[in-house]
Amino acid sequence: MRVRILGCGGSGGVPMIGNVWGDCDPNEPRNRRRRASILVETDGTSVLIDTGPEMREQLLDAQVTRIDAVVYTHAHADHAHGIDDLRQVNWMNHKPLPVYADTVTLSQLQEKFDYCFKPQDRPDWFPRPCLVPHTITGPFTIGDLTFIPFHQDHGRFPSMGFRIGDFAYSTDVVHLDEKAWAVLEGVDTWIVDATRIEPHPVHAHLDLALSWIERLKPRRAYLTHMNHQMDYRSLMAMLPPGVEPAYDGLVLEMA
């Protein structure tokens, strides 16, 4: 299994509009961050997690030619508003595309993007996205990948984390309950939210993320959803062994 980091930036990306780099060195290419998204792949299956605003460019840069399904962590704009470009995935696949999300997220997506979920008149013609909703109520399988979902506290909002084998993905989270920790136990590789240096009301900040990593003790951990305070080289100089900032384009091979 492979995990491709398509984006690891906060809701505004890095740089932010206005050429705002903050503490990030603009000469370090790993500081240029699109909105958070990953692609989980095996030789037989390819699953996209979240469809942020730069989804088209992310998939082109990664030379993606197959997507079997989309899984959503939640419906916030920085994770969902590239949804219209899934029409191009319909054309690539020549068929409707399954999407998976919890009840709240599916309801929000269907309210905001109702046209994406309407049945098509022709099965081979896609004037708009053709998405088939699947409600996440427990573990589910897409191809040869099994997803174990767990609820996350995203401040005023819920989000979903996912465990796939010995890998777990936890973006947009400020608190994990004991049920989530039970699912995470024994994870080898964890991608986890660390949006900035100081505390944040709806995201994990750096010290909180590091305390979670110390509790879980994965073999390796990668920080994601990082804003313009989170300079790549500065983080590399201060993080403990086994913890690194993610960067767009990073590919993680799983055992």
Q: Which CATH number goes with the domain that contains 110?
A: 3.60.15.10
Segments forming the whole domain that contains residue 147: 2-253
| Alpha-carbon separation of residue 157 from 75, 81, 116, 175, 177 (angstroms) | 10, 17, 23, 11, 14
Q: Which of 179, 184, 235 is nearest to 210 (CA)?
A: 235
Does the structure show a pLDDT above 90 at 122?
Answer: no
DSSP string spanning 27-51? T-GGG-BPBSEEEEE-SS-EEEE--
Q: What is the pLDDT of residues 158-201, one digit of tens each?
A: 999 999 999 999 999 999 999 999 999 999 999 999 999 999 99
Total count of domains within the chain:
1
Q: Is 1 helix (H, G, I), strand (E, B) or coil?
A: coil
Q: Name the pTM for this structure.
A: 0.98
Which residue type is seen at 162? F
Helices and strands (DSSP H and E) totals, the chain: 7, 14
Interval 17-43: pLDDT, tens? 999 999 999 999 999 999 999 999 999
Angle at 24 between CA 34 and CA 5, to 5 degrees: 30
- 167 by Cβ neighbours in 10 Å (0-12 / 13-18 / 19+) ranks as buried
63: left (phi over 0), alpha (psi -120 to 50) or beta: left
Q: What's the CA dihedral at 214, 217, 223, 225 to 10 degrees?
A: -80
